[in-house]
Amino acid sequence: MSQEGDQDHSDRKKYEFRKVIEDLKNYEGSGTQLVTIYVPEDRQVSDVVAHVTQEHSEAANIKSKQTRTNVQDALTSIKDRLRYYDTYPPDNGMVLFSGAVDAGGGQTDMVTKVLESPPQPVESFRYHCDSDFLTEPLEEMLTDQGLYGLVVLDRREANVGWLKGKRIEPVKSASSLVPGKQRKGGQSAQRFARLRLEAIDNFYQEVAGMANDLFVPKRHELEGILVGGPSPTKEEFLDGDYLHHELQDSVIGKFDVSYTDESGLRELVDNAEDALADAEVMKDKREMEQFFKELNAGDLATYGFEQTRRNLVMGSVETLLISEDLRKDVVSYECAECGSTDREVIDRRHSTPGHECSDCGAEVATADAEREDAIEHLIEIAEQRGTEVKFISTDFEKGEQLYDAFGGFAGILRYSTGV
Ligand SMILES: [Zn+2]
């Protein structure tokens, strides 16, 4: 499979995950009775079963009879699901959710869901029992996986690493031999100052060398580089052009941090939050600007469900743009009289409406209508046609317009189709 294909596949998977997570987040347990288990790919399933068995017997101590029963039922249900797996979980691990959720009117419903192979690996085993399901670690995996280079330094110590999605990966560190400001007796002040500057310069070169080795080979995938440290170190480092010139252009910001060890990398990412959010939205902005450019120039743009779908089927769509906030189903009505098919996009919460065939006017029964998720419907066609799929946030004006004015679907075309 081509890389583009893999990308489409992961977009679809992300979307499917996001939908399940939305459902899970809406559930609530009346007590501490909703169980979530994160299982990394290298954790033996038999270990997980043993852990669940242990929790099951400990749950016998829960005072409230109702909560006790609910927790034990949830654990039993999880154990049943685990039977379907061999020695190890699927690639990237899996997440299990089970529990009795409030169904209104004092009733509860038993819900059990298993999400396999999330877009990023589950990093550690986690057992969680609370009044809601633990979805945050999964949600973090679904944010766009931007790749950023990280550098923190002062005159004594430096660390470089990656930010991949929300994951920070320290890679290399260095410490300097830069002498303190206090010179020893017998040294001339001038000579001391010169040696000290040389040592600082050497250290900056060493840090830049580490950063260059790491980032230059990946410079085309990099969304940007963040540099952190106290003043004036980070300024000296950046203004002194120590970094490879192509990397220098990728620096999206410099930030004050008080630590330059591995924890400094985390501090750097925390402090750069706004800049990172902007960078994320910038990608979406570029896509939408391209769309508007084509729309204004003429015929290399399409929008709305039906037109976008027709272009997709023709294979003419280069990039499919979908509003991240869209929650719609598409209903396909096949007319029994004349055989033509109409499609209607409806809100996910609404029931399937009745329909009259647009060709012959015959009534199409709701029971004969086929209803599915509108986004999945289009992504499936996109996958077959090698179309790139982009989800666009509504956090900026043109992103909102995609949702409000264009029905949430649009496409940038490879060639004009007149549709
Ligand atoms: Zn008809």
pLDDT of the chain, 419 residues: tens digit per residue: 334 434 445 677 788 888 899 899 999 888 899 999 999 999 999 999 999 999 999 999 999 999 999 999 999 999 999 999 999 999 999 999 999 999 888 889 999 999 999 988 898 999 999 999 999 998 888 776 688 999 999 999 999 999 987 779 999 999 988 877 777 667 788 888 898 899 999 999 999 999 999 999 999 889 899 999 998 999 999 999 999 999 999 999 999 999 999 999 999 999 998 888 888 788 889 999 999 999 999 889 999 999 999 999 999 999 999 998 899 999 999 999 999 999 999 998 899 999 999 999 999 988 889 999 999 999 989 988 889 999 898 888 999 999 999 999 999 999 999 88
Q: What residues have CB less than 8 Å from 315, skipping those under 6 apart?
A: 385, 386, 387
Q: Is 183 exposed, middle or buried (0-12, 13-18, 19+ CB in 10 A)?
A: middle
The secondary element (H helix, E strand) that includes residue 59 is none
**What single-letter amino acid sits at 85?**
Y
**pLDDT for 41:** 96
CA 328 to ligand 1 centroid distance, Å: 25
CA 345 to ligand 1 centroid distance, Å: 19
Q: How far apart are CA 43 and CA 134, in angstroms?
A: 19
CA 317 to ligand 1 centroid distance, Å: 29
CB 145 within 8 A of CB 223: no
Residue showing tokens 């930030």: 255
CA 355 to ligand 1 centroid distance, Å: 10
Q: How far apart are CA 379 and CA 409, in angstroms?
A: 11
The secondary element (H helix, E strand) that includes residue 265 is helix 262-271
Give, in order, the Cα–Cα distances in Å from 330 to each of 156, 311, 342.
60, 17, 10
**SS3 call for 92:** coil
CA 411 to ligand 1 centroid distance, Å: 29
Using the CB atoms, write b or e for 338-354: b if 16+ within 10 Å: eeeebbbbeeeeeeeee
CA 367 to ligand 1 centroid distance, Å: 16
The DSSP output letter for 121 is -
What are the backbone dihedrals phi and psi of residue 117, each rounded to the nearest 5 degrees, phi first? 45, 65
CA 199 to ligand 1 centroid distance, Å: 83
Q: What residues have CB less than 8 Å from 165, skipping those under 6 apart?
A: 120, 140, 141, 143, 144, 145, 146
Q: How far apart are CA 139 and CA 181, in angstroms?
A: 48
CA 368 to ligand 1 centroid distance, Å: 13
**pLDDT for 94:** 96
Give, in order, the Cα–Cα distances in Å from 346 to each of 98, 302, 320, 340.
30, 20, 20, 20
CA 365 to ligand 1 centroid distance, Å: 12
CA 364 to ligand 1 centroid distance, Å: 8
Q: What are the structure tokens assigned to 358, written together?
A: 């647009």
**pLDDT for 16:** 85
CA 4 to ligand 1 centroid distance, Å: 39
Adjacency order of strands within the sheet including 224-229: 167-175, 157-164, 147-153, 224-229, 251-256
**pLDDT for 402:** 96
CA 330 to ligand 1 centroid distance, Å: 18
CA 351 to ligand 1 centroid distance, Å: 22
**SS3 call for 54:** helix
**pLDDT for 368:** 84
Adjacency order of strands within the sheet including 341-347: 341-347, 328-334, 370-373
CA 363 to ligand 1 centroid distance, Å: 8
The DSSP output letter for 352 is P
**pLDDT for 97:** 97
CA 333 to ligand 1 centroid distance, Å: 9
What are the backbone dihedrals phi and psi of residue 398, each rounded to the nearest 5 degrees, phi first? -70, -25
Q: How far apart are CA 128 and CA 302, in angstroms?
A: 46
CA 343 to ligand 1 centroid distance, Å: 13
CA 346 to ligand 1 centroid distance, Å: 21
CA 342 to ligand 1 centroid distance, Å: 9
**pLDDT for 145:** 65
Q: How, if at all, do strands 157-164 and 147-153 pair?
A: antiparallel
Picking from 328, 275, 298, 322, the residue whose alpha carbon sits closest to that of residue 413 is 298
CA 337 to ligand 1 centroid distance, Å: 5
CA 307 to ligand 1 centroid distance, Å: 21
Distance, C-alpha 60 to centroid of its chain = 38
**pLDDT for 10:** 67
CA 341 to ligand 1 centroid distance, Å: 8
Greatest alpha-carbon span in the chain: 105
CA 358 to ligand 1 centroid distance, Å: 7
